[in-house]
Amino acid sequence: RPEMLDYRPTPKQRSTLELLRYLTIMGPILVPSIKAGTFLVEEWGAAEAKSAAMDFDAVVKALEAEAAFYEQAVGAMTDEEM
């Protein structure tokens, strides 16, 4: 429901839309960070800025696209990387 996008369980927690935006960057940056063995700080910052500008429809599209990302990125990891 659109009226719930600004809902925050408590004042210091992310709103629903902020949480969804976070999910658009969390995996796509952390998976390559794990593979690289270091947190990709610059990539995170760029992705966070991009996600902050997303409206709900853009967030949904980004989340839908993540299925292919996870299939490729995680599927390509060796047992040692996992």
Res. 31 pLDDT band, cuts 50 70 90: very high
pLDDT of residue 1: 76
Q: Check if the beta carbon of residue 14 is closer than 8 Å to that of residue 4.
A: no
pLDDT of residue 22: 97
Element (H, E) at 35: helix 16-36
Higher model confidence: residue 80 or residue 67?
67
- Report d(CA 47, CA 21) in Å as an integer: 10
pLDDT digits (tens, 9 = 90+) for 50-73: 999 999 999 999 999 999 999 999
- Report d(CA 46, CA 29) in Å as an integer: 10
Structure tokens at 22: 């976070």
Is the pTM for the entire model greater than 0.95? Answer: no
- Reduced DSSP (H G I as helix, E B as strand, rest coil) percent helix, strand, coil of the chain, to 5: 70, 0, 30
